[in-house]
Amino acid sequence: MVNVKWNKEKFSFNVPLETRLADFRQIVAEETHLDAFKLIYKGAIMKDDKAPLSAYHLKQSSSITLLPHHDTLPTSSSIQNTEQTSLSNIQQELASIRQGLIPSLDLFLDALPQKQPSMSALEKEHARLGELLLQSLLRLDAISTDGEWEDARRERKAAVKEVQALLDRLDDAWSAR
């Protein structure tokens, strides 16, 4: 079973890990009704359609992130993307980072020793925090900011800078250890 996360939705696919990526993409496309999207596993974009899923080191119950291309999102006359909606989405993403991730990041950085022989738990936490920050950047990138929406574009740019600064802080502290 391979799980695919798309925003708040989660899809589970019972496919063998020998399935080629191209065939898996087709299965995902049929379920999500998307024509073009990226599949991301552990921060890396899955690109080689000829490779089996196992080539990406997936295991049963692995979770893959789906990132649709902006122009392929399903549209409906009842759903209108407005500048206010985009601003709200940006603010929600930042609030989530500020409330949920920054305290964990601060605890990790405070606990990061200069040198320690056993680093496996710290390595896992570093990877987890880095992955969460990268996913946040991807979500911010997926928020539509029409060319005429100056406020939304400015807010998204500021949000990306804030999240990127957190990622830089994490990586700089990790490198300095």
Mean pLDDT of 1-20: 89
What global pTM score does this model have?
0.54
Q: Collect all residues with Cβ–Cβ distance below 8 Å to 76 and sequence separation of at least 6.
A: none
Mode of pairing for the β-strands spanning 63-68 and 2-6: parallel
Percent of the chain with pLDDT over 90: 32
Q: Distance between CA atoms of 177 and 171, rounded to whole angstroms?
A: 10
List the chain domain ranges: 2-68, 76-176
Residue 78: per-residue pLDDT? 33
Residue 128 has pLDDT above 70, yes or no: yes
Q: Distance between CA atoms of 93 and 105, rounded to whole angstroms?
A: 16
At 28-78, the pLDDT tens digits run: 998 888 888 899 988 788 999 999 999 988 888 889 999 887 544 444 433
* CATH number attached to the domain at 76-176: 1.20.58.120
On whether the CB atoms of residues 5 and 64 are closer than 8 A, the answer is: yes
Q: Which CATH number fits domain 2-68: 3.40.50.2020, 3.10.20.90, 3.40.80.10, 3.40.50.280?
A: 3.10.20.90
Residue 129: per-residue pLDDT? 92
